[in-house]
Amino acid sequence: METYFDTSLLLKAYLLEAGTREALSIIQAEAPPAPFSHILELELRTAIRLKQGRGELTAAIMRAVLQTVEKDVASGVLVRPDYDLEAVYKRAEMLSARHAAATLARSADILHVAAAVEAGCAAFASFDVRQRKVAALAGLKLIPAKWQGVQ
């Protein structure tokens, strides 16, 4: 598991959105399995449910997408990283203390970066500008290498 995929990117593999083509290209370039951290699991499922709640998906499509995520977990496409969850939170606090004021990254953004570092990932794939700043400061290679997205 070399690359950690953030929710902003992984969600586009499950739902057709702006940026889906680029996200799929990035995901397909990396060899499975993909780390599926505790925070990523919660955030991905919540994002799918929120889309249904906002009327962007029907309840049936939401259930089907959540089932697809479950199938990917069961088949080993998405796997829980081998990390110490307490170490993830300690690293997140350290990253927050060092970089939150300058990057304006939110707690969830920082937790993703901490999970990637603690899982031993070398790269971080995200479309979130603030999160990418923290990932770079944590020493992770950014994918895509350049991104001019909105914050």
Q: What residues pair up with 140 in beta bridges, in sequence order?
A: none
Q: How far is CA 31 from CA 4, 51, 84, 96, 101, in A?
A: 11, 29, 24, 30, 35
pLDDT of residue 151: 39
Segment 98-123 mean pLDDT: 96
- Predicted confidence at residue 92, as pLDDT, reads 98
CB half-sphere exposure, 61, CA atoms < 13 A:
12
Residue 67 has a pLDDT of 98
On the question of pLDDT at 42 being above 80, the answer is yes
Where b means 16+ CB within 10 Å and e means fewer, 61-96 reads ebeebbeebeebeeeeebbebebeeeebeebbeebb
Strand partners of residue 35 = 79
Give the confidence band of 148 by pLDDT, cuts at 50, 70, 90: low
Q: What is the mean pLDDT of the chain?
A: 93
150 has a pLDDT exceeding 50? no
Q: What is the pLDDT of residue 147?
A: 62
> 138 pLDDT exceeds 50?
yes
Q: Is the Cβ–Cβ distance between 19 and 12 less than 8 Å? A: yes
Q: Is the pLDDT of residue 45 over 50?
A: yes
Task: Give this prediction's pTM.
Answer: 0.91
State residue 31's pLDDT score. 72
- Spell out the domains of the chain, with CATH numbers in brackets: 3-143 (3.40.50.1010)
Q: Are 111 and 86 in contact (CB under 8 A)?
A: no
Q: What is the DSSP letter of 31?
A: P
